[in-house]
Structure 1
Amino acid sequence: MIINLFDDTARLSLLPLTFTRPVADLRVGILTIAQKWAACFNAETGFSTIAYLAEKYKPQPGALLFINGSICPDDGLQDAILQLKPGEALKKGELLIAYLAAETMPFEAALVNTFAIKQYIAEFVRLVYPEDIFRLNDIELRKDYLLLTHGRQSAALSNTNTLLGENIFIEEGAQVECSTFNSLNGPIYIGKNSQVWEGSHIRGSFALCENSQVKMGTKIYGQTTIGPFCRVGGEINNAVIWGHSSKGHEGYLGNAVIGQWCNIGADSNNSNLKNNYAEVKLWDYEKEGFRKTGLQFCGLIMADHAKCGINTMFNTGTVAGVSANIFGPGFPRNFIPDFAWGGAQGFETYALNKMFETAKKVYERRDLSFDEQEKAILTKVFELTQTHRRF
């Protein structure tokens, strides 16, 4: 089977996280949304996304089945989609879930107007706002754990560790020593070639994706996903940290989403609860203003390539845009624009050529190339976000 996962209006409401990727490339639980659908259908997946991302995130040729990339699969959805006939579309109310074309063609939402519509009644998980990623991470982590471990045997775990509960799965090549794992409240998944260093305490639900490290003495609470290719330390609670990012030192991170290629400086902290316990608001790119989240606990949303210096303090409900570089004393504002350079004392524009110099060095440390394709995407994001940099 071949599937193309399409962006809908959620791409705008999920900014800044979707400036640099299609919605289906968002990671929630253990897998990205695209990886979930690929595993459920044993399928090849591609993306139908905005033009400047399409060179990196290409559609799969020959696809007849198109699925909404903001929706996470489950058994009911899988069955309903498998029952679609050519020329039929699946909706929940006005929301397009999927459609099956009779012949190969590019994604076209308007085409669905000519299709026979089947309505889907049951509830499902859909990402609409950035905070949905940490808010729904526990649900998706448990589903992905069952998907990835079904019918498989965990690798052996060293007897230097203390275990509570039995829902712990260790992939081959993982190194885990002298640490505490409590899976009584949720499963724990340790990915291939990952490491948990001595003296760490981890509560489920938790996923450490491949080639990631948890440093000595780290405290991790449930509903948290790290990696792949990440290194973390300090105290982390209900956070999702994506690939090639680091929070390697002491400091608190909670109710947060951290994008790719980010770095959190030593002793940096985010607040996740207002002093007056009021509902948290987050910057909304689509509305160009702050939006009520309905949440009392909401910390930091940090987009790709953003970084902060040592002892940075983030207010409750802070959004840091793509390639923001934050440093200095005091609390910076709750919305830090893309390509902003500075802190509470003021910001200026992080020049694109300077940002490229840093990114090149960061990629080289991981034996990767910061290529023209990545530069083109970031250049477009720089152009799209100019109006927010009124320094």
Structure 2
Amino acid sequence: MGRIGPVFIFEDEKYENFLPLVWLRPVFDLRVGILTIFEKWYKKLGEIEGVFLRSYLSKLVKEMYPEIRVNEGIRPGTKVLLINGRTLPPEDISVFDDVEEETLFVSNKGEVVAFYGYFDEYEGIIDTGRLREKEVKELRIDVEVLNYLWDTIKINGEEIIKDFNMIGNSGIHAPISQKVALLGNEIFVAEGVRLYPNVVIDAEEGPVYIDKNVTVLPNAFLKGPLYVGEGSIIKVGAKIYEDVSIGPVCKVGGEVEATIIHSYSNKQHDGFLGHSYVGTWVNIGADTNTSDLRNNYGSVKIIFKGERFDTGMQFLGSMIGDHTKSGINTMFNTGTIVGVFSNIFDAGFPPKFIPSFSWGGRHGFVTHELEKAIATARRVMKRRKVELSTNYEEVIRKVFELTQKERDEAGVS
């Protein structure tokens, strides 16, 4: 493409709207559809020079993306393209081609999408107000900017379709038993996939993308739009409905609908998970159920930044942060937010907002001790042959400090 200058992706002041899922990752590492936001931009542009984000994540993100610059100053006198990490790439990426003068790209709703020009200063996250102050040419483009975590759930099916078409993979690349039913044409089955007899894959209303080395056990039903990530396992008799993204190395069973499971998480057993976002290293206990529809069919309200907030969504389940566990028969109400490193159990519905590092249920919570939380994380990750690195541990300790206020306000002892 004819774009001028290196590309940087940045977090802005609204990263807080995506907590708790971004306590341990930048906003642009959220999965929406098949790919993360970062991966979408990389595939569209071909190269990312660097990123700007919260300072405590710098070392960890450098570990994740060793070939890019992380929170490093831009060379003076260099024109760059700064892309808001909450933005999903437009289908027509040529809007950024051959821009000569400094330009502020905004969505049709007036949200800052990107900036092209000189930007020598930086402070980790970039406040979009600073970009507006530059008083340069403004260009409106048709693009999706995410404002809240639950926006990802709302558009996930559309993003699976867009990613499926952008990636361009097609066909069946693994042996398929005659007892496997394939409905529709937009089905991709990668190398190393094993589909057991009596599996049904329904792509009549949306594509199904099954990545490398996935195992789908007998009698499972998979309906598109759907993505199943590399190395994941779909359990016997699972019912995986439309608009679901299951990231790499997950184990999923029971009934799942319109949900994103980022990666390395388990929901192996019966129980319903709907219109939800689940982070990494989460374990959802047997017969855990999420309500995603109010009895009066009204819009779902959540506890957001300490206040009741109307999401405007009729269907919304739970948003569950990394390393959280639910005990058997746990029930989550509509619009429940659960922080990172929480352990939820007990009869009845727990509160609709559960702070990070909480241990308990409906009858009250105590703090999940930091050292015990880290020790558990190390054991869990080791089972998947992943090391809990020093940088990751430093981030966990920092997040424990940053979330102390929410525990205090919620009365967690």
TM-score (norm 1): 0.93
- Equivalent pair of 1:337/1:388 in contact (CA under 8 Å): yes
Separation (CA, whole Å) in 1 of partners of 2:156 and 2:54: 26
Distance 1:45 1:366, change over 3 A: farther
Tell me what 1:88 maps to: 103
Tell me what 2:7 maps to: 3
Tell me what 1:127 maps to: 146
Tell me what 2:18 maps to: 14
Q: CA deviation at 1:103?
A: 7.5
Separation (CA, whole Å) in 1 of partners of 2:27 and 2:184: 35
Separation (CA, whole Å) in 2 of partners of 1:129 and 1:49: 17
Q: For residues 85-234 of structure 1, what are the structure 2 equivalents within 5 Å?
A: 85=100, 87-92=102-107, 94-102=110-118, 106=122, 109=127, 110=130, 113-114=133-134, 116-122=136-142, 124-149=143-168, 153-156=171-174, 158=176, 159-178=178-197, 179-234=199-254
SS at match of 2:100: coil
- Equivalent pair of 1:46/1:57 in contact (CA under 8 Å): no
SS at match of 1:341: strand
Separation (CA, whole Å) in 1 of partners of 2:380 and 2:354: 22
Of 229-238 and 40-49, more deviation after overlay is shown by 40-49
- Residue 57 in structure 1 maps to residue 61 in structure 2: yes
SS at match of 2:316: coil
Q: CA deviation at 1:144?
A: 0.4
Of 224-233 and 106-115, more deviation after overlay is shown by 106-115
Runs of 4+ with >6 A deviation: none
Counterpart selection for 1:343 from 361, 365, 371 = 361
Letter in 2 for 1:89: L
User: What is the aligned length?
Assistant: 386
SS at match of 1:202: strand
Q: CA deviation at 1:301?
A: 0.6
Distance 1:105 1:82, change over 3 A: farther
Kindly report the root-mean-square deviation, in angstroms, between the aligned alpha carbons of the 2 structures: 2.0
- Residue 293 in structure 1 maps to residue 322 in structure 2: no
Alpha-carbon deviations, 1:92-133, whole Å to 9, x = none? 3652211223587647552563363232143x2222112111
- Equivalent pair of 1:99/1:112 in contact (CA under 8 Å): no
Distance 1:327 1:103, change over 3 A: closer
SS at match of 2:32: coil
Q: For residues 319-338 of structure 1, what are the structure 2 equivalents within 5 Å?
A: 319-338=337-356
- Equivalent pair of 2:103/2:139 in contact (CA under 8 Å): no
Identical positions, percent:
37
SS at match of 2:274: strand
Q: CA deviation at 1:248?
A: 0.6
Of 83-92 and 356-365, more deviation after overlay is shown by 83-92
Counterpart selection for 1:35 from 32, 39, 43 = 39
- Equivalent pair of 2:333/2:349 in contact (CA under 8 Å): yes
Separation (CA, whole Å) in 2 of partners of 1:57 and 1:71: 19
Tell me what 2:257 maps to: 237
